[in-house]
A and B are shown apart, each in its own frame.
Chain A
């Protein structure tokens, strides 16, 4: 049994948050509440566990860092992705490693689905505004159609989160039904650490740096080990 109880009000809240997070990514106002750390925390807050939401968001931040939004590049849409990952991890019973990795992978998949929905909306926008300046409505037509595009993007974000919220929860709950013993968790933790470290290295390079500037990376690893030892 992997069921989870969600009220219609909670589902609507997720849709509303999805609209605002979907908008922020590109259309308005790009204040970065769509970044995984913020969107994941919002997802966690909705279900009473902001720390779980933040942690899932932080992992997604590293996973998504390989795809910076340079130029007109295609990259995973992080807002709805982290909202659903953060919500799903917050609603998991034991907040285990399996649930965290499942939430991150769910977020990664939602991010790419979101990217495809953005690409689709951009083709709609082409028809909507490309020739608006020369339409009979004149200058006001451009402004009106631009506002319509804004509303469509909000609808897109809400629909994406509304459609994928329950499947995301179920996927993470399914991962939680497996409870390996202490010995069984070690390979999973080792593979997760290797995956995260590899993606962090790829993400660091995507910041537009040169291959030979690895000095700060080594210093960062040393500083991270020192901090981890101090915090432990």
Chain B
């Protein structure tokens, strides 16, 4: 039986908790079964054996970005509805995992999220109130967040086993990459403003120049500079106490 609109809505709501049982064996496998349960119950209505087999299939090892996992949910539900063989479903599941993870990491974790967070930090540092800046961040960020989950579920259901074509089209990657230079600039702006707002008063021009140099060195060789920069923060506290 074809899932109803209410089943898709239920799956969308459940997708917000897809990572609740994240573990080192099946990763978000349990979450996938949890999200797909209303869809599978409709698709396999009246056939408890088929339902049980489908739940077992989708509770198996799987990982993807939590927002874009709705693409996999929609596509797998469509394939289940169209009666795809278990072997095909297994291969399809495995094939989806890596591109959905990479796309989400680049588009959401390295793109949309830092863009919204850093914009809020800059807005606060140039005079917006803290509650307005934090609320603005949450509203704007979650507009994108909810949209991505809903769009993913719809796209997955519409495309089914043919979803690979849409993921390979490159439009999503282009959009994700376009935010990276913007976020680099926003990181620099936010850091300069934070340094200018140090409670003891902004350091002089020589120290600011040195800080800029160390920031650039951190960008070029992050692994070497991270411990040095953390040590500087600890030493700052020690200098304060001494």
Chain A interface residues toward B at CB < 8 A: 26-33, 35, 37-38, 41-42, 44-45, 50-51, 53-55, 58-59, 61-63, 65-66, 68-72, 95-98, 100-102, 104-105, 108, 122-123, 125-126, 128-130, 132-134, 138-139, 142-143, 145-147, 149-150, 153, 175, 178, 180, 184-209, 211, 213-221, 223-225, 227-228, 231-232
Contact: B134 with A37, CB < 8 Å? Answer: yes
Contact: A204 with B184, CB < 8 Å? Answer: yes
The docked-state distance in angstroms from the alpha carbon of A211 to that of B223 is 13
Q: Which of B114, B191, B212 has the most CB of A within 10 A?
A: B191
* A232 CB contacts on chain B under 8 angstroms: 196
Known contacts A97-B240, A193-B203; A142/B34 CB under 8 A:
yes
Q: Would you mind naming 19 contact pairs between A and B with Cβ atoms under 8 Å apart?
A: A26-B19, A28-B17, A50-B129, A50-B134, A54-B134, A68-B109, A96-B200, A101-B236, A188-B200, A190-B203, A192-B236, A194-B211, A200-B188, A207-B110, A209-B181, A216-B181, A216-B188, A219-B188, A224-B191
Contact: B23 with A58, CB < 8 Å? Answer: no
Contact: A206 with B222, CB < 8 Å? Answer: yes
Q: Which of A28, A29, A198 has the most CB of B within 10 A?
A: A198
Contact: B191 with A227, CB < 8 Å? Answer: no
* A147 CB contacts on chain B under 8 angstroms: 20
**B1 at interface (Cβ–Cβ under 8 A)?**
no
Known contacts A31-B138, A68-B110, A231-B127; A138/B52 CB under 8 A:
yes
Closest CB of chain A to B103's CB: distance in Å? 12
* B156 CB contacts on chain A under 8 angstroms: none
In this complex, the interface size class of chain B, counting residues with CB under 8 Å from chain A, is 35 or more
Contact: A146 with B31, CB < 8 Å? Answer: yes
* B125 CB contacts on chain A under 8 angstroms: 58, 231
* B110 CB contacts on chain A under 8 angstroms: 68, 70, 207-208
Give per-residue flags for B137-161: 1 if the beta carbon is below 8 A from chain A beta carbons, else 0. Answer: 1100110010000000000000000
Question: Which of A65, A178, A194 interacts with B241 by CB under 8 Å?
Answer: A178
